[in-house]
């Protein structure tokens, strides 16, 4: 019961993070389940099954708050679902000794990306709503992000959100809302792939329901918070946590000696703390530079 409560709280926190950053629910939740001893394919399957419910709730909330660009959702969701289905089937066919370091490597580098992405002081390009993104860009982006998402237990948000933000064609809240909304079909595609390739008996229903319950509670709050919270600070904190959690498995996969792993933990801890401080300073500078109401 205690473990289920922890998972529920973690699902709530993960959805709050995902709903405000447009990324990290899958990466965060998969990291937790791997730490709890779940097999890689089972961990990813559990997270994606839970995401069917959480992304539906999150997408509905973002729609109600006006955070969704439906053209982007239409062009990304279907290729993303197909890519996720393929990625789920491939991951399920891999032996655990191969899949575990593969997932750890993906999660490690996604954590590194999130840490760097949100700790550096760089404003995204000014949105230009007069220039819509081309279908030739959005459809392949969806397919790639969906495949990585299923195979790594996360990736739809880090790949999709960062690409849309860097394009400068959508305002940030619509990037987050569109990615979260389109993720419903991606979660559905991945879940279908896992259920075809795995036995449902392998899924821990208690873990699944705990993650789902936490995510459902957090989804509407996250859709509101996307306009309120300093995303840089939250992103830097989450990225460092993912990095530290996956360092051991990733280090062992590449044959790193234990003393090097200890050193890596220390260095990553210092980098993590410095990144959070840099993010806080950046937010405070932006607030000081912004026009003050009369």
In this structure, the number of other CB atoms found within 10 A of the CB of residue 196 comes to 11
User: Residue 154: pLDDT above 80?
Assistant: no
| 294 occurs within a structural domain | no
Q: pLDDT confidence of 73, banded at 50, 70, 90? A: very high
User: Residue 122: pLDDT above 60?
Assistant: no
Length in residues, the chain: 294
| 85 occurs within a structural domain | yes
Residues near 125 by beta carbon (within 8 Å), at least 6 away in sequence: 166, 167, 168
Q: How far apart are CA 127 and CA 231, in angstroms?
A: 17
Would you give the DSSP letter of residue 203? S
In this structure, the number of other CB atoms found within 10 A of the CB of residue 237 comes to 18
User: Residue 6: pLDDT above 70?
Assistant: yes
Q: pLDDT confidence of 78, banded at 50, 70, 90? A: very high
| 234 occurs within a structural domain | yes
Q: How far apart are CA 294 and CA 291, in angstroms?
A: 9
| 209 occurs within a structural domain | yes
167 compared with 203, residue with greater pLDDT: 203
pLDDT in tens, 267-294: 888 888 888 888 888 778 877 776 655 4
Q: How far apart are CA 243 and CA 75, in angstroms?
A: 32
- Number of domains the chain contains: 1
pLDDT in tens, 17-60: 666 666 667 777 777 777 777 777 888 888 888 888 888 888 88
Beta strands in 76-121 (DSSP E): none
In this structure, the number of other CB atoms found within 10 A of the CB of residue 135 comes to 13
Residue that the structure tokens 């936490």 belong to: 214
| 201 occurs within a structural domain | yes
| 248 occurs within a structural domain | yes
Task: Say what the alpha-carbon torsion angle 125, 130, 135, 138 is, to the nearest 10 degrees.
Answer: 20
| 59 occurs within a structural domain | yes
| Cβ proximity of 279 and 233 under 8 Å | yes
Which residues span the domain enclosing 253?
Answer: 2-289
User: Residue 86: pLDDT above 90?
Assistant: yes
């Amino acid at each position: 019961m205690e473990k289920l409560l922890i998972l529920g709280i973690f699902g709530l926190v993960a959805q709050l993070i995902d709903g405000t950053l447009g990324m990290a629910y899958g990466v965060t939740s998969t990291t937790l389940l791997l730490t709890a001893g779940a097999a890689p394919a089972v961990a990813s399957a559990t997270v994606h099954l839970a995401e069917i419910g959480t992304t539906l709730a999150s997408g509905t909330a973002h729609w109600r708050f006006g955070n969704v660009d439906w053209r982007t959702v239409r062009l990304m969701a279907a290729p993303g679902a197909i890519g996720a289905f393929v990625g789920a089937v491939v991951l399920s066919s891999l032996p655990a000794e191969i899949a575990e370091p593969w997932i750890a490597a993906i999660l490690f580098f996604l954590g590194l990306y999130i840490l760097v992405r949100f700790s550096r002081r760089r404003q995204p390009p000014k949105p230009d709503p007069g220039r819509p993104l081309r279908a030739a860009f959005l459809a392949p982006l969806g397919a790639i992000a969906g495949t990585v998402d299923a195979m790594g237990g996360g990736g739809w948000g880090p790949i999709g959100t960062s690409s849309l933000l860097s394009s400068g064609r959508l305002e940030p809240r619509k990037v987050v809302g569109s990615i979260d909304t389109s993720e419903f079909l991606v979660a559905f595609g991945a879940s279908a792939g896992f259920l075809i390739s795995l036995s449902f008996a392998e899924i821990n229903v208690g873990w699944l329901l705990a993650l789902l319950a936490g995510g459902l509670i957090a989804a509407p709050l996250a859709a509101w918070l996307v306009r309120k919270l300093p995303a840089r600070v939250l992103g830097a904190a989450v990225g460092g946590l993912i990095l530290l959690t996956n360092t051991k498995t990733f280090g062992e996969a590449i044959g790193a000696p234990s003393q090097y792993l200890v050193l890596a933990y220390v260095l990553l801890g210092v980098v993590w703390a410095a990144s959070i401080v840099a993010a806080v300073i950046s937010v405070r500078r932006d607030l000081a530079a912004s026009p003050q109401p009369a």
